[in-house]
Amino acid sequence: MALTAVSAKRILYEASVWFDKETHSYLSHAWPIDVMSVGRTEEHALKMLEEAVGLFVDTVREDGNLDLIAQEAGYRLEGDVLVPPKRNHFSGAAEFSTEV
Average per-residue pLDDT for the chain: 89
CATH number of residue 58's parent domain: 3.30.160
> Average pLDDT of 61-68?
93
> Average pLDDT of 29-47?
96
Determine whether 38 is exposed, middle or buried from the number of CB atoms within 10 Å of its CB (0-12, 13-18, 19+).
middle
Query: pLDDT tens-digit profile of 5-26?
Result: 778 899 999 999 999 999 999 9
Range of the domain at 55: 9-76
User: Is 22 within a domain?
Assistant: yes
Comparing 92 with 67, which gets the higher pLDDT? 67
Please tell me the distance from the alpha carbon of residue 77 to that of residue 38, in angstroms, as a whole number. Answer: 28
- Is residue 21 a contact partner of residue 95, using CB atoms and an 8 Å limit? no
Domain count, the chain: 1
Comparing 70 with 89, which gets the higher pLDDT? 70
> Average pLDDT of 50-71?
95
- Amino acid identity of residue 9, one-letter, is K
Question: pTM of the entire structure?
Answer: 0.85
